[in-house]
Structure 1
Amino acid sequence: MRRKVALAQLDIQLGNPAENYQKAKQAIEEAANHHADIVVLPEMWNIGYALDQLAELADENGQKTQQFFSELALKNQINIVGGSVAVRNGQSFFNTTYVYDQNGNLISSYEKVHLFGLMNEDQYLEAGQKENHFKLAGIPSASFICYDLRFPEWIRTVARYGTDILYFPAEWPSKRIEQWKIMLRSRAIENQAFVVAVNRVGTDLENSFNGHSLVIDPLGQVIHDAGEVEQVSYAEIDLAQLAQVRGPIPVFKDRRPSLYH
């Protein structure tokens, strides 16, 4: 089984949801026109890290984003891993992922579990409390958000269900991009899964971002690197490779969780 994945490496405009929704719409439509099965967006693409403007700009209960994805997924017959957006629920704010199938159905949502102090997330956002695993385009999958990448125990906790693709939307700064590449390859190898990671490009008030959205196979080999420019780029994933990797080295079967603390 093969699937074509589109990586929407966007230049997010800080505090400008109108422009960012338009960018996301164009990226999704472009991916559909290139016959992608799945399109993936970056982290916090609706407003960027305008955390001090959450009260004015966050999506109330995620309603705008959910309608946006549902309509575009159905119209374009494409599956969407919606990066993440700033969402307001009551008096609390979350960094939230929505996943939609090609029929416009919400099949999963996830609130970022690990909040990144260097970008002040812990001062403005509430941390999520649940795992996120789902089947998309017929593939057992899981999604995480940016800083979650640094917690392999969390990735393994979710991946133990038999996950074939791990998705990582992010706003990962340029100065730590080599760590991004190394850790993504490691997560692919140790979980014997494909990794699809979509980072942004551009700048905000305090950080610069240089993309390098990646698709990585279960052996840790980079199938695709989107480079450092704003673009929608593509990679094909061959799921048959999973059996070839997992057969000789059954990592999950050989685990001894009773010893892990």
Structure 2
Amino acid sequence: MKWTISCLQFDISYGNPSENFKKASRLVESESRHADILILPELWTTGYDLKNLDAIGDDEGEQTKEWLRQTAKANNVHIVGGSVAVKRKSGVYNTMYIADKNGRLVKEYSKAHLFQLMDEHLYLAPGSGGGCFELEGVKAAGFICYDIRFPEWIRKHTSKGAGIVFVSAEWPHPRLDHWRTLLTARAIENQCFVAACNCSGHNPENEFAGHSMIIDPLGHILAEAGHGETVIRAEIDLDDIKKARGHIPVFEDIRKDLY
């Protein structure tokens, strides 16, 4: 089975959900004719306007969920909906929604690890659930930005069979080398595809790295963006997951008696 995956890397309009929904709609409509799965960046509706998320966040995620249902179905494409700021009674969460091409929501995952260096812990509540889901019977998992620095969190999902890891991010430019290295390492050590969509552009405090990437289970980079707004895509062969895991049986050789 083969899929074409596209990462929609764009410059998020800071604190302007209305403009960002319009931009995302245009990108999905344009790219859906070329791909089976589309991925959006982290906090794509608001940008990193953390101090104002109480005002501009999505109440219970209802606007985003409805947009995803309608947009995925209308364009006959699976959408890994990046992440958005979701306002709940218990706080504001950085939440990823996944919709299949029939307009059905198949997963909701809130970012487990909050990045203190950029004050996320002051404005966001941490998620408490995992990121595993299925599309057309294919096991996958979704993560958000800082999550990729925790290999044990990724491995928990791939050990349950996830063969594709989707990552949405607003990763800053000063740590671009970390982004590229961590994503490649996660692909190699988990023998899985990694499809990671970052944003481009800047906000009042940060410049973002871009460089969205699609990586195969052996660590080969199938597609990589540059710094600016762009769309990248790559065709993946899901049989490559079994081939990689059969050639070097990492999951069989885990020492569960030691760790």
TM-score range, shorter chain: over 0.9
Mapped partners of 1:144, 1:125: distance in 2? 16
Mapped partners of 1:259, 1:22: distance in 2? 51
The TM-score, its normalising length taken from structure 2, stands at 0.98
Query: Residues 17-36 of structure 1: matches in 2 within 5 Å?
Result: 17-34=17-34, 36=35
Alignment partner of 1:235: what SS? strand
Match of 2:176 in 1: 177
Match of 1:243 in 2: 242
In structure 2, give the amino acid aligned to 1:199: N
Cα deviation, residue 115, structure 1: 0.1
Match of 1:224 in 2: 223
Match of 2:2 in 1: 2
Q: Is 1:61–2:56 an aligned residue pair?
A: no
Mapped partners of 2:136, 2:39: distance in 1? 13
The one-character-per-residue Cα deviations of 1:80-107 (angstroms, maximum 9, x if unpaired) are 0000000101151000000000000000
Q: Is 1:73–2:65 an aligned residue pair?
A: no
How many residues are matched? 259
Alignment partner of 1:247: what SS? helix
Match of 2:111 in 1: 112
Query: Residues 11-160 of structure 1: matches in 2 within 5 Å?
Result: 11-34=11-34, 36-160=35-159
In structure 1, give the amino acid aligned to 2:13: Q
Cα deviation, residue 204, structure 1: 0.6
Alignment partner of 2:201: what SS? strand
List runs of 5+ in structure 1 lacking aligned partners.
none
Mapped partners of 1:21, 1:137: distance in 2? 27
The one-character-per-residue Cα deviations of 1:203-243 (angstroms, maximum 9, x if unpaired) are 01111013100000111111100112212221111112122
List runs of 5+ in structure 2 lacking aligned partners.
none
Mapped partners of 2:95, 2:257: distance in 1? 32
- Are the aligned partners of 1:30 and 1:232 in contact in 2 as well (CA < 8 Å)? no
Cα deviation, residue 188, structure 1: 0.2
Among all aligned residue pairs of Structure 1 and Structure 2, give the percentage whose two residues are the same amino acid. 47
In structure 2, give the amino acid aligned to 1:258: D
The TM-score, its normalising length taken from structure 1, stands at 0.97
- Are the aligned partners of 1:210 and 1:228 in contact in 2 as well (CA < 8 Å)? yes
RMSD in angstroms over aligned alpha carbons? 1.0
Change (3 A) 1:14 1:147: same
Mapped partners of 2:130, 2:249: distance in 1? 23
Query: Residues 186-197 of structure 1: matches in 2 within 5 Å?
Result: 186-197=185-196
Cα deviation, residue 258, structure 1: 3.4
Mapped partners of 2:53, 2:113: distance in 1? 19
- Are the aligned partners of 1:37 and 1:137 in contact in 2 as well (CA < 8 Å)? no
- Are the aligned partners of 1:38 and 1:137 in contact in 2 as well (CA < 8 Å)? no
Alignment partner of 1:206: what SS? coil
Cα deviation, residue 79, structure 1: 0.2
Mapped partners of 1:90, 1:3: distance in 2? 38
- Are the aligned partners of 1:79 and 1:137 in contact in 2 as well (CA < 8 Å)? no
In structure 2, give the amino acid aligned to 1:61: E
Match of 2:161 in 1: 162
Mapped partners of 1:117, 1:50: distance in 2? 15
